[in-house]
Amino acid sequence: MSKVLVIAEHLGGKLNPSTARAVSAAVAVKPDAIDVIVLCDSVDAIAAEAAKIEGVSRVLTAARAENAHPLATVLAPQIAKAAAGYSHVFAPSTTFGKDVAPRVAALLGVAQVSDIMSIDGSHTFKRPIYAGNAIITVQADPAHAVVATVRTASWAAAASGANNAPIEPLSLDIAVPTHTRFVELLQGKNDRPDLQSASKVVSGGRGVGSKENFEVIYRFADKIGAAVGASRAAVDAGYVPNELQVGQTGKIIAPELYIAIGISGAIQHLTGIKDAGTIVAINKDGEAPIFEVADIGLVGDLFKLIPELEQAIG
């Protein structure tokens, strides 16, 4: 019998949309049950959200003061214990899931499958390697639980609303380590749509030239209601904070519309956007590799073109 345990990701009392994407992957396993585990100091609001996701059989909660912040050292032993009896443990492939899932796998003594793109069978998965330049098919041993992270850009979020899964508190009753402590989270203040779930994203690269110039990108994004992203070069140069980086080692996203401005199109960047619906590239260099993958290309100076675009949009 196959049963999937999905680790819920949340922040500030809200469920992260990545959780519903991980549930979609769980559905593709065709299991007998999908349970979502919520670990937090105060679980009620998050659990209520999770209970609405279609496909979820039960929501299991682990409420304790130590779970106030997502420390892998604290959460992993609880998840490993809760995993008894499950054939699969899935987490979203976000910084949260990437941090905690391998520790859970190690505690269970099993290998992990990272970044599942598709599911060919209950123990056969496809995942990208080499920045998405190759896709491998991997088989996990059915004798053990499969611990995996789900490449969120490959999976649409499971629908939410109609379901009303029961919520059950777990009594895990284990000591958790105290050697690792949360100090603080410095969150970028941002009223814009969330980069990982936005339907439109406007990204700027080194071509934007400075932190001040990046205002042009923000303004344009606001005009069309888009989230803002960036290349590594723009982040490294300090134009924008790290959480905006898109790519192999940043965020992997799949918006309906992606507009890359002043970005050359390095393979490490492209791997983060290859699932986008429509890619638009604006670059002054007509030979830039970004034009090889862009659905629509426009050659020219971004400082001239963006105001013109804004005017044309009206």
Ligand X SMILES: Cc1cc2nc3c(=O)[nH]c(=O)nc-3n(C[C@H](O)[C@H](O)[C@H](O)COP(=O)(O)OP(=O)(O)OC[C@H]3O[C@@H](n4cnc5c(N)ncnc54)[C@H](O)[C@@H]3O)c2cc1C
- Residue ranges for the known binding site for FAD are 206, 231-232, 245-249, 262-269, 283
Least Cβ distance, residue 228 to ligand X (angstroms): 14
Asked whether position 71 contacts ligand X by CB under 6 A, the answer is no
- State which of residues 232, 258, 259, 281 lies at the interface with ligand X (CB under 6 A): 232
Which residue, 217 or 246, is less far from ligand X as judged by CB? 246
SS3 221: helix
DSSP string, 84-110: TT-SEEEEESSHHHHHHHHHHHHHHT-
Instruction: Restricting to residues 109-168, name those near ligand X by CB under 6 A.
Output: none
Using the rule CB under 8 A, give the single segment among 35-43, 55-63, 213-221, 305-313 that binds another protein: 305-313
Q: What does 1 interact with, of another protein, ligand X, none (CB < 5 to 8 A by kind)?
A: none
Asked whether position 308 contacts another protein by CB under 8 A, the answer is yes
SS3 61: strand
Instruction: Restricting to residues 40-59, name those near another protein by CB under 8 A.
Output: none
Interacting residues of 49 by C-beta distance below 8 A, sequence separation 6+: 14, 15, 160
CA distances from 214 to 50, 145, 211, 240, 273 (A): 37, 46, 5, 8, 20
Asked whether position 302 contacts ligand X by CB under 6 A, the answer is yes
- State which of residues 42, 180, 249, 278 lies at the interface with ligand X (CB under 6 A): 249
Strand 118-121 vs strand 124-129: parallel, antiparallel, or unpaired? antiparallel
Using the rule CB under 6 A, give the single segment among 54-62, 87-95, 183-191, 277-285 that binds ligand X: 277-285
Instruction: Restricting to residues 154-213, name those near another protein by CB under 8 A.
Output: 177, 179-188, 196, 200
Asked whether position 266 contacts ligand X by CB under 6 A, the answer is yes
Q: What does 299 interact with, of another protein, ligand X, none (CB < 5 to 8 A by kind)?
A: another protein
- Report the run of H or E that residue 272 belongs to, with start and end: none
Asked whether position 267 contacts another protein by CB under 8 A, the answer is yes
- State which of residues 40, 119, 234, 279 lies at the interface with ligand X (CB under 6 A): 234
- State which of residues 111, 170, 172, 176 lies at the interface with another protein (CB under 8 A): 111
79-99 CB burial, b ≥16 within 10 A, e <16:
bbbbbeebbbbbbbbbebbbb
Strand 257-261 vs strand 278-283: parallel, antiparallel, or unpaired? parallel
Interacting residues of 38 by C-beta distance below 8 A, sequence separation 6+: 8, 10, 46, 47, 50, 59, 60, 61, 62
Size of the site for ligand X (CB under 6 A): 27
Using the rule CB under 8 A, give the single segment among 19-27, 30-38, 82-90, 138-146 that binds another protein: 138-146
Interacting residues of 267 by C-beta distance below 8 A, sequence separation 6+: 131, 132, 133, 248
d(CA 159, CA 1): 25
Asked whether position 94 contacts ligand X by CB under 6 A, the answer is no
Q: What does 247 interact with, of another protein, ligand X, none (CB < 5 to 8 A by kind)?
A: ligand X
Can you give the binding site for ligand X, defined by CB under 6 A? 205-207, 231-234, 245-250, 262-264, 266, 268-269, 272, 283-285, 288, 301-303
